[in-house]
Structure 1
Amino acid sequence: MYDGTVVAPPAQAAPPGPPARRVRFGANYTPSRGWFHHWLDFDLDEVGADLDSIAALGLDHVRVFPLWPLFQPNRSLIRPRAVEQLVALADAAAERGLDVAVDGLQGHLSSFDFLPAWTGTWHRRSLFTDPDVVAGQEEYLRTLAAALADRPNFLGLTVGNEVNQFSDAPHPDPDRITREQAGRWLQRMLAACEQGAPGRFHLHAAYDAAWYRDGHPFTAAQAARLGAATAVHAWVFNGTAQRYGRTGTATEQHAAYLIELSKAFAADPHRPVWLQEVGAPAPLIPPEHAAAFTGATLAAVLDCADLWGVTWWCSHDVSRELADFPELEYGLGLLTNDRRTKPAGAAVARIAAQWRGREHRPPVRATALAVDVGGAEDAPRRSVCAPGGAFFEAWAALAAAGARPAVVLAERAEDPAHLSSRGITEVVRVHDVA
């Protein structure tokens, strides 16, 4: 069990492998007043006070969520005032030393769907394949990106928040597509971001069905190869904490596991990985244990090479004045509704301070566990990677024994050039793990 100690990386000669990076620490910005509905009553003073409390933690960026139906209520109307408010938020963040990453197609947040009326009911059209809908999405992303392109603190756009959940079960009414259609849609959306703000940090984000669900049209290969970085959303309420407990190695290292799993699918051996969402969901992680879980999670991910940064979910608690959220959503903040720092917030602040200005280059993970998902492109057997799957349990067993396992695809496990590019000198198989 992790005891709360954060161990600084050992001094060492520069090893072969990934370049040194400076890890970013930030928060997914959830406004303390009105949640994301704050766009309806946008108050820059309230936003500024929220950003002050985030900056006081020593964080360096926020991830921001426009609500798509409010910004583009009609396919041919992208509200200028809403875009101006987004730019004003970015400028307020800059005044406080915070960079801003913006999500576009929101999409889905905290169990609620936010889709414009022109995509549903009487106007029901596929989010991914209808030509008019896709053209409207492209114009929206281009517009947001272009509005922020001249802001030095603008990092880039994420296409949307876990938009893949609209393509498959368990969504109650999915727009079903093929892997090829998902890939084409992602490429068009990323191209629109690039057209609006060339050269910025544009990427896409999926919830963990891309890594864990057989047959899901959004794939691990897409996640690890399209866009400027791989985004990982590592939530332990997906069966991990339920199965392995709050202090189990599989739980405390779940985010690190997903980072290492993502690297197996990447074409670039040193592609940056952004832990874009991670949090401490109650009651699986009780509030009195949130700080310990936070420290353990961060210690584990900081032992992973090529980590771009960590963006905790979320900045502020959801107000109890708002109804119908899943219970766990109300307490995920690093700060309370009245902007007081919670124990998890103090843990993130402490670790961010320890790493500020330091180079991040953990020792190479020389031993890799081979995963057979039936081929990288479709990964028809990717469920072996999910909690309870044979590969997941083998990786967790190695980690619990003190090993630092990397992950390599079975079809690359005997490729000397690939192994060498990642510093891997030993490959073990699932059946080798007791």
Structure 2
Amino acid sequence: MPPAVRFGVNYTPSERWFHHWLDFDLDSVRADLDSIAALGLDHIRVFPLWPYFQPNRTLIRPRAVEQLVALADAAAERGLDVNVDGLQGHLSSFDFLPAWTRTWHRRNLFTDPDALDGQENLLRTLAAALADRPNFIGMTLGNEVNQFSSGPHPDPDRATPGEIDTWLARMLAACEKGAPGRLHLHAEYDAAWYQDDQPFTPGQAARHGAVTAVHSWVFNGTAQRYGRTSVPSEHHAAYLVELSKAWADDPHRPVWLQEVGAPAPLVPPEHAAAFTEATVANALDCPGLWGITWWCSHDVSRSLADFPELEYGLGLLTNDRRPKDTARVLERAAREPSYAAASRTTALVVPADPAVRSRCAPGGPVFDAYFRLVADGARPTTVLDIRAADREHLSARGITETVTADQVLEGGIRP
């Protein structure tokens, strides 16, 4: 039997949001973790803000590291495992970069030798501090760090795909050195799969690190273009899980749906539970799913200013730790026995060339063809065009039929 799917949540502290690291209150954290554990979830993803932990390139604050370990230990007491994002980075529209990388000390995050040394040191230090904790899952390099590498970021740190390859290998090696044998990975927002000029590529996402991480947000044009209750909106997370498999060298590489949420107003609060239920059910129908980690645990307090409106209400729990209907949906899924999703035997052919990956984005022919198949009752996966005739690869993945987007959209393919 395959391992059970993990269910967890991205931990957003109910008091002071991620600024809680400045005035760390372990009792408040424990109360938050109690409310998470009560839902039957088994893990959290934690975000130490980079400038608070490494305010100078050669200074990693010991007290901050101790607080991170204390949080992990409090999670263990409640049966929760912990994944830690290291270079944090970017959250909820705010960038958190240390002063030694910006303005007068401007350094490219992906290519500058001093910046690389500093990042490597932080990742190794955080991993090593948690290495002996049984509930430590491993490190994620950072939250959607690819948004720093290209537009639409207003001040991107430009890099080539080759330079990103080098950066990923070095940073993951630092995590492994700090905590050997743990589940270390990296995670990007969906520009890695959809944006032609992104230096973070689908191949990197599916080949570097222990698992592939996907982040699914239907405010990327999916809900706007197709509607809240459309097949593309309710299956978008599952699509990213299956799309990622086209680039994986390992035919059985696990995929972690590491971030997914119900964003208002595209998904109004009164419809969030139905959206959550559909998204989770469709993701669970993907074989090889490592886990689902919802965004996020607690709402952002209205006392904090300047967040995009949608960010305030994304929590499974309110700011005073009361569970919403979405929490009950995830709770039911987490408490029910997991089942093994059957192999997907039909594969939609996708272009291997990352310069045309926008064909896979909302409005693109691959995207539309995939959801035409889903709407017609199929359970498709994807395969690269350069592997579509590779019988050994197809057999290893259980694929018995391949179709192209043109064939589907011209109406010649039906399940």
Q: Which amino acid aligns with 1:368?
A: A
Paired residue for 1:401? 376
Deviation of 1:371 after TM superposition, in Å, equals: 1.0
Q: Which amino acid aligns with 2:375?
A: A
Structure 2 Cα separation of the partners of residues 291 and 239 of structure 1: 21
Any conservation in 2 of the 1:206–1:231 contact (CA below 8 Å)?
A: yes
Paired residue for 1:121? 103
Gaps of 5+ in 2: none
1:222-246 CA deviation, whole Å, 9 max, x = no partner? 0000000000000100000001111
Paired residue for 2:186? 204
1:227-282 CA deviation, whole Å, 9 max, x = no partner? 00000000100000001111000000000000000001000001010000000000
Note the 1:327-366 alignment, pairs <5 A: 327-355=309-337, 358=338, 360-366=339-345
1:418 and 2:408 equivalent? no
1:134 and 2:116 equivalent? yes
Structure 2 Cα separation of the partners of residues 365 and 121 of structure 1: 50
Q: Secondary structure at the match of 1:394?
A: helix
- How many corresponding residue pairs? 409
Q: Secondary structure at the match of 1:417?
A: helix
Paired residue for 1:14? none
Any conservation in 1 of the 2:352–2:386 contact (CA below 8 Å)?
A: no
1:101 and 2:83 equivalent? yes
Structure 1 Cα separation of the partners of residues 316 and 134 of structure 2: 26
Q: Which amino acid aligns with 1:402?
A: G
Any conservation in 1 of the 2:124–2:178 contact (CA below 8 Å)?
A: yes
Deviation of 1:138 after TM superposition, in Å, equals: 0.3
Q: Which amino acid aligns with 2:377?
A: G
Equivalent in 292, 301, 309 of residue 310 of structure 1 = 292
Note the 1:17-96 alignment, pairs <5 A: 20-96=2-78
Deviation of 1:373 after TM superposition, in Å, equals: 4.1
Note the 1:139-158 alignment, pairs <5 A: 139-158=121-140
Deviation of 1:322 after TM superposition, in Å, equals: 0.4
Structure 2 Cα separation of the partners of residues 299 and 60 of structure 1: 18
Structure 2 Cα separation of the partners of residues 406 and 175 of structure 1: 34
Structure 1 Cα separation of the partners of residues 347 and 104 of structure 2: 51
1:137-193 CA deviation, whole Å, 9 max, x = no partner? 000000000000000000000000011110100000001010000110010000000
Structure 1 Cα separation of the partners of residues 375 and 274 of structure 2: 17
Note the 1:226-237 alignment, pairs <5 A: 226-237=208-219
Any conservation in 1 of the 2:362–2:368 contact (CA below 8 Å)?
A: yes
Deviation of 1:40 after TM superposition, in Å, equals: 0.4
Paired residue for 1:383? 358
Q: Secondary structure at the match of 1:264?
A: coil
Q: Which amino acid aligns with 1:57?
A: L
Note the 1:7-22 alignment, pairs <5 A: 20-22=2-4
Q: Which amino acid aligns with 1:387?
A: P
Deviation of 1:215 after TM superposition, in Å, equals: 1.7
1:355-400 CA deviation, whole Å, 9 max, x = no partner? 3xx4x421110111111243xxxx1100000000010000011101
1:369 and 2:351 equivalent? no
1:290-323 CA deviation, whole Å, 9 max, x = no partner? 0000000011000001000000000000000000
Note the 1:211-360 alignment, pairs <5 A: 211-355=193-337, 358=338, 360=339
Deviation of 1:21 after TM superposition, in Å, equals: 1.9
Deviation of 1:327 after TM superposition, in Å, equals: 0.4
1:172 and 2:151 equivalent? no
Structure 2 Cα separation of the partners of residues 94 and 363 of structure 1: 33
1:34-68 CA deviation, whole Å, 9 max, x = no partner? 00000001000000000000000000000000000
1:105-136 CA deviation, whole Å, 9 max, x = no partner? 01000000000000001000100111011001
Deviation of 1:81 after TM superposition, in Å, equals: 0.1
Any conservation in 2 of the 1:205–1:231 contact (CA below 8 Å)?
A: yes
Structure 1 Cα separation of the partners of residues 190 and 86 of structure 2: 19
Structure 2 Cα separation of the partners of residues 134 and 44 of structure 1: 32
Q: Secondary structure at the match of 2:186?
A: coil
